[in-house]
Structure 1
Amino acid sequence: MGRPSNPDIHDSDGSSSSSHQSLKSTAKWAASLENLLEDPEGVKRFREFLKKEFSEENVLFWLACEDFKKMQDKKQMQEKAKEIYMTFLSSKASSQVNVEGQSRLNEKILEEPHPLMFQKLQDQIFNLMKYDSYSRFLKSDLFLKHKRTEEEEEDSSDAQTAAKRASRVYNT
């Protein structure tokens, strides 16, 4: 006898908990830079922000290194390594990132690429973003606007579920 036999009660419990299961994307982004970088939408917003700060090359370098680590084909790796070097690390790079130890990276290591050859530099850039631009991003208008939009969307969908629930109760 302990369990209520009214299916409506159970039903509304089920629906309300499931709607709160999925964490809002802004909440995920605010939880960690890793989460932000795993979400294509997050990356897009973060890039917009970094562009305004003139440091978009950091996240582009990080993403390029991620792609590079997944490569299997040696020829492709050589090309990608060279591209990363020329774009971000060489003294003539168009989008040079500011990392220690890049001077030790020379054209020679590009001939024998290995998946983790950029790892140390990638970690440096990750930390630079994490302790610098990421914290500013979370306070930026760009992020806060997105968060507000999400909250407004959630409010309106909550209002709908409440109305549906009410109509179910009164229709009996």
Structure 2
Amino acid sequence: MAWFCSHQQLPTRAAIPLPEINDGEGHPSSSHQALKGTSRWATSLENLLEDPEGVKSFREFLKKEFSEENVLFWLACEEFKKTQGKKQMQEKAKEIYMTFLSSKASSQVNVEGQSRLSETILETPHPLMFQKLQDQIFNLMKYDSYSRFLKSDIFLNHKKSEEQEENSPEAQTAAKRASRIYNT
């Protein structure tokens, strides 16, 4: 079951790479960077789920709310979409079904229409077979858990730590170097 807990490479949704401006030593200039960390997490659930550290924090929060299965199901479905080969798809589809959707599931998610999803569908899997259910869970997280996460101690402590790092003497020195480079 460890395959769905991995979140090294989450798919990006229409991510547009931004040019990176470096200081004189090849380090990104803090005044020209795109949003990162908690600032990026706070812009959308999609951005949060694209960041492995964001997923880790969100899972920690959901665990406290007794709803971690939602993000685990979403991650499992994302991984499932990348699966190649009918046999591997059948195995992963069955694992998702048994873990999250069956009446005997160990981490059952609460989705509409799961009763219509029977084990027979597992015989002919396709990458988007769980999409409708995944979308339901995504919307549940987006309109319920995500807003509470942004007010949680877990998120606020991450944000505070980030702000302290940005205000550290080392960060200020890098910003001053970058400022000298760009203002000359």
Shorter-chain TM band: 0.7 to 0.9
Give the TM-score taking structure 1 as reference length: 0.84
Please state how far the C-alpha of 1:87 moved relative to its aligned partner.
0.3
Give the TM-score taking structure 2 as reference length: 0.78
Question: Of the two structures, which has the highest relative contact order with CA contacts closer than 8 Å and spacing of 6 or more?
Answer: 2
Please state how far the C-alpha of 1:46 moved relative to its aligned partner.
0.3
Q: Which residue of 57, 64, 69 corresponds with 1:57?
A: 69
Equivalent in the alignment of 1:76: 88
Q: Give yes or no for the alignment of 1:99 onto 2:111.
A: yes
Q: Give yes or no for the alignment of 1:18 onto 2:29.
A: yes
Percent of aligned positions that are identical:
80
Please state how far the C-alpha of 1:72 moved relative to its aligned partner.
1.5
Equivalent in the alignment of 1:11: none
Unaligned runs of 5+ in 2: 1-21
Alignment map for 1:65-144 (pairs within 5 Å): 65-144=77-156
Distance in 1 (CA, whole Å) between partners of 2:83 and 2:71 is 19
Q: 1:114 to 1:162 in 2, by over 3 A?
A: closer
Distance in 2 (CA, whole Å) between partners of 1:92 and 1:137 is 29
Equivalent in the alignment of 1:5: none
Please state how far the C-alpha of 1:23 moved relative to its aligned partner.
1.7
Give CA-to-partner distance per residue, 1:117-162, whole Å, 9 cap, x none: 0000000000000000000000000000000000010011443246
Please state how far the C-alpha of 1:164 moved relative to its aligned partner.
5.9
Equivalent in the alignment of 1:9: none
Q: Retained in 2: the 8 A contact 1:81–1:113? A: yes
Q: Retained in 2: the 8 A contact 1:29–1:36? A: yes
CA RMSD across the alignment: 2.2
The one-letter code of the counterpart of 2:152 is S
Q: Which residue of 155, 173, 182 corresponds with 1:160?
A: 173
Distance in 2 (CA, whole Å) between partners of 1:165 and 1:76 is 50
The one-letter code of the counterpart of 1:112 is T
Give CA-to-partner distance per residue, 1:58-113, whole Å, 9 cap, x none: 00000000000111111000000000000000001010000001000001000000
Please state how far the C-alpha of 1:55 moved relative to its aligned partner.
0.1
Distance in 2 (CA, whole Å) between partners of 1:124 and 1:68 is 17
Give the structure with the higher percent helix.
1
The one-letter code of the counterpart of 1:159 is Q
Distance in 2 (CA, whole Å) between partners of 1:122 and 1:82 is 15
Distance in 2 (CA, whole Å) between partners of 1:161 and 1:82 is 51
Distance in 2 (CA, whole Å) between partners of 1:65 and 1:95 is 14
Distance in 1 (CA, whole Å) between partners of 2:123 and 2:151 is 43
Distance in 2 (CA, whole Å) between partners of 1:92 and 1:19 is 50
